Structure 1
Amino acid sequence: MIIYPTLELRNGKCVSLTRGRLEEPVIWHVDPVETAKSFAAAGASWMHLTDIDALAGDGDNSSLIEEVIRSAGIPVQLGGGFRSRDGVAKCIDKGAGRIVVGTMAAYDPDTLRELAKFYPDQIVLAVDIFQGSVMTEGWRTKSAFSPESYIAAFDDAPLAGIILTDIDADIEDSDGTLGVISGLAGLTRHPVIARGTVRSVDDVSRLKYVPNIAGTIIGRALLSRDVSLEAALEVAQSDREPIAEFQ
């Protein structure tokens, strides 16, 4: 299982969003470039980076993101505000290993499929779920799609993976409940990356036993030092213990 240590950028600073609210970020006083380098030094094989300003539609952190991509030493999975084919192509040309697409997929699914075919294994679909519906516009707009039908609609696209976020669990700060993500992970052939479920190393251990969970995104828990990246990587990379079969 791949651990994706995560940074979210707002006005050039590393932040975490409280209950998804763009206007109330928690600011972490760390250097984004040096923190990205530390992820590689700890042994991470990928990192995840989100441009909150681009997601909000009120700017971007393009120069800083380019510096992170050049300096991190590991591939960068980049998300935040991708609303056009040109935007995706531009960031891939500048070195992003993968691009995460959310809202654009809901409004223009054909473009997502075309991008996935043109950039095989470089496009990731973000599926954010709240109260049984797929959310768009950074958790702000409730769509008419059920997560089951939404995931099924892209099952034939050559995606690199699907990021699943159970917003209900995230905003309630629950102890890493996996019910929604576990159920949906079994409905797709794509590798699933769980988001918002890790608050301790024990949560990483639990994820390893969920079928088709190929990775997890960890952000706030790393920056708050509730989770050690080295410990999370060790757990994620260790062999799974055998599971007893019940008759």
Structure 2
Amino acid sequence: MIVFPAIDLKGGQVVRLAEGDMDRATVYGDDPAAQTKLFAESGAEYLHVVDLDGSFAGSAQNREAVERIVATFPGIVQLGGGIRKRADVEGWFEAGVSRIVMGSAALKDPEFVKGMAREHPGAIVVAVDAKDGMVATEGWAEVSDVPVVDLARRFEDAGVAALLFTDIGRDGLLKGVNIDATVELARQVAIPVIASGGVAGIEDIAALKPHAENGIEGVITGRALYDGRLDLAEALALAKPS
């Protein structure tokens, strides 16, 4: 199982939000590349990066910071946030990003996302962000009337790398991962699922690992790392196949 340490960018700084609220941001540093290096030194092979400003603006807002992260990190960088056009996708791949996360576009223009997934097999991740079981978009500012599983199933034959499932009500709050909802989604679709939102400590990694056989590809963690509640090296060691 993959452990993805997360770097969320707001105004070039490393932050974490509570429930996706831009007004509830905690700043953890002003040097994303330095944070990237620390994660790499702990053994991380994957990194999850979010351009939070881009999520709301609908276009890249932290390009320089992302480019520094890509240049610093020796592994796979997965990036999301405001990526809704072909030029955005191609531009980030050219910049060295390995996997692109698309959420709002997946709901509003699924054929475009399917096309990108077919052109870049294994490199497009579809974000299915849930609020009370319904898909949320536009940086979680809007909640649709589409159930999460319905959106996920639209991409089963498109060649997407994974589904990134976030329970917004737990994100950044250290409440623990919504394991039941995450595993239920993984069981209902043929696409690997990445758990996100609420990781509080090593117990969440331990609880998710047995479900790798149910389709859980990995887990994203941010605040627990920054607050010192989760040791990345320990999490990576636990997540490895037994």
Residues 155-195 of structure 1, C-alpha deviations (whole Å, 9 max, x = no match) = 11101111001223337653333121111111111111000
Question: CA offset at residue 102 of structure 1?
Answer: 0.3
Query: Equivalents in 1 of 2:133, 2:205: separation in Å?
Result: 24
Instruction: State the alpha-carbon separation in 2 of the partners of residues 95 and 171 from structure 1.
Output: 28
Alpha-carbon distance between aligned partners in 1 of 2:189 and 2:103, rounded to the nearest angstrom = 17
Give the TM-score, by structure 2 length. Answer: 0.94
The count of corresponding residues between Structure 1 and Structure 2 is: 239
Note if contact 1:204-1:236 (Cα within 8 Å) is conserved in structure 2. Answer: yes
Q: Separation in 2 of the partners of 1:33 and 1:128?
A: 27
Q: Match of 2:25? A: 25
1:12 aligned onto 2:12? yes
1:15–1:163: structure 2 CA closer, same or farther, 3 Å change rule?
same
Equivalent residue letter for 2:106: A
Q: What is the deviation of 1:213? A: 0.7
Of 170-179 and 211-220, deviating more is: 170-179
* 106-115 or 169-178, which deviates more: 169-178
The residue aligned with 2:108 is: 107
Unmatched 5+ residue regions in structure 1? 240-247
The residue correspondences of 1:142-161 to structure 2 (distance < 5 A) are 142-161=143-162
1:242 is matched with which residue?
Answer: none
Larger Rg: 1
1:162 aligns with 2:163: yes
- 1:32 deviates by 1.0
Deviation sequence 1:88-140 (CA, Å, 0-9, x none) = 11001110010000001111110000000111111000000111211111111
1:199 CA drift (Å): 0.8
Q: 1:22·1:56 contact (CA, 8 Å) conserved in 2? A: no
2:199 corresponds to 1:235: no
Structure 2: any 5+ residue segments left out of the alignment? none
TM norm structure 1: 0.92
Aligned-pair Cα RMSD in Å: 1.5
The one-letter code of the counterpart of 2:206 is S
User: Could you say what secondary structure the match of 1:162 adopts?
Assistant: strand
